[in-house]
Structure 1
Amino acid sequence: MFTESEYFDEQFKDIQFSKEEVVAVHFYDCTFTNCEFSETVFDECKFTGCTFIHCDLNLMKVANSKFSQVYFMQSKLVGVNWTEAEWPRITVPSLLKFEECTLNHSTFIGVALPQSTIMNCSVKDVDFREADLTKANLRGSDFTESVFGETNLSGADLSHASNYQIDPSQNRIRQAKFMLPEALNLLYCMDIVIDED
């Protein structure tokens, strides 16, 4: 399928490429629309300025692959271990942007994603321990059963986000934005009684 080592400004539509392997291919400013990449292995690939729209990326592998300014829109990314990707050693803002996506059962442990976007997404049972989400846009997402620990959420926007369980003593939340009533979730880990009368 991908016979070239580099692709620039390509439009890929309706590709069925699940359970395949893509090795050392670099994509620059490419758009993928209605593509099926479930369980596909991207090994040592590079995605720069790319956009995925209505794509199925469930259980894809991202071993040693690089992502920079990549936008996922209305796509499925269930069960992706993002820790396997190769992330920059210096902090780079806005590496990933997810809008209206399904990210359930994924892992971002220790991944630095400052100023990234996870907006209006289903983010259930996702592990964000030790991740850097400084100034991230997390608006409107559902974080049911997701794990935060030693996570940097400084300046992050969780307006209209729901079902998060974030312990303020175990995470950095300075200048983060929350909304009532969901912000009461920040109190439940404090072993106090909240009287709602």
Structure 2
Amino acid sequence: METLVEDESFAHEDWYGDEFVERVYRRCDFNDIDLTEAQTRGVVFDECTFGNVRLNASRHADSAFLRCSFTRCNLFEAEFDGCKLTGSTFEESPVRPMRVKGGDWSFASLARADLRGVTFDGVRMREVDLSGANCAGATIIGADLSGANLRGADLSGCDLRGSDLTTLDPASVELRGAIITPEQAVVIAQNIGLEIR
């Protein structure tokens, strides 16, 4: 039975290493919370705000952060396994070297984020906003990037193998040293109007 918490505010709490299982937080505010090394499993945060929350080294499995906002939060070495972060936004929040496996980050905004060395493996990222993001040396493999906003992103040295690059405009991103498959090279060539014979 899920525990439901609605319209609550939490501030200056020490939840270091705590475990949260099958809870639902709806329209809640979290400010100055220490969630370092905390774990969530089957937890839903719906339209919640996180401000100055320490999520470093936290682990999240099959949890959801739906339409949440993260402002000045620390996600250093955080891990998300099979989680949904659809529609969530990140501002002034260090996320490297975060690791994400599976799940759905569609419509999330990581605009101008420092994503160097971050890993997204098999993640659905439809229409995600990565404009101006620094993804140098990141691993974004097997990701559904259809409709993603990549304008101004630095993808140099980024491993993009297996990801959907149908909306990638090579003229609007930095691609030097990025790793792609021959099939993806064909897609990119077609994106700039080349005819392959």
Taking structure 2 as the reference length, the TM-score comes to 0.73
Please give the per-residue CA displacement for 1:91-111, whole angstroms capped at 9, x wherever unaligned: xx9342212212221222332
Please give the per-residue CA displacement for 1:79-122, whole angstroms capped at 9, x wherever unaligned: 22212x434xxxxx934221221222122233231211112222
Checking the alignment, whether the CA contact within 8 Å between 1:137 and 1:157 is kept in structure 2 is no
Distance 1:20 1:37 in 2: 7
2:124 to 86, 101, 112: 112
SS at match of 2:95: coil
Checking the alignment, whether the CA contact within 8 Å between 1:140 and 1:159 is kept in structure 2 is no
Could you tell me which amino acid in structure 2 is paired with residue 6 of structure 1? Answer: V
Please name the residue that 1:86 is paired with: 103
2:188 to 173, 185, 192: 173
Alignment of 1:39-188 (within 5 A): 39-83=57-101, 85-87=102-104, 94-157=106-169, 160-164=172-176, 165=178, 169-171=182-184, 172-173=187-188, 176=191
Structure (1 or 2) with the greater strand fraction: 2
Distance 1:53 1:157 in 2: 29
Distance 2:103 2:30 in 1: 24
Cα shift at 1:146:
0.7
Cα shift at 1:52:
0.9
Could you tell me which amino acid in structure 2 is paired with residue 15 of structure 1? Answer: I
Distance 2:160 2:181 in 1: 10
Checking the alignment, whether the CA contact within 8 Å between 1:75 and 1:100 is kept in structure 2 is no
Distance 2:61 2:160 in 1: 28
Checking the alignment, whether the CA contact within 8 Å between 2:157 and 2:179 is kept in structure 1 is no
What number of residue pairs does the alignment pair up?
171
SS at match of 2:85: strand
2:47 to 29, 40, 59: 29
Distance 1:167 1:26 in 2: 35
Please name the residue that 2:37 is paired with: 19
Unaligned runs of 5+ in 1: 88-92, 178-197
Distance 2:53 2:170 in 1: 30
Distance 1:9 1:78 in 2: 27
SS at match of 1:27: strand
Unaligned runs of 5+ in 2: 1-14, 193-197
Q: CA RMSD in A?
A: 2.7
Distance 2:137 2:172 in 1: 18
Calculate percent identity across the aligned residue pairs: 23
Checking the alignment, whether the CA contact within 8 Å between 1:104 and 1:123 is kept in structure 2 is yes
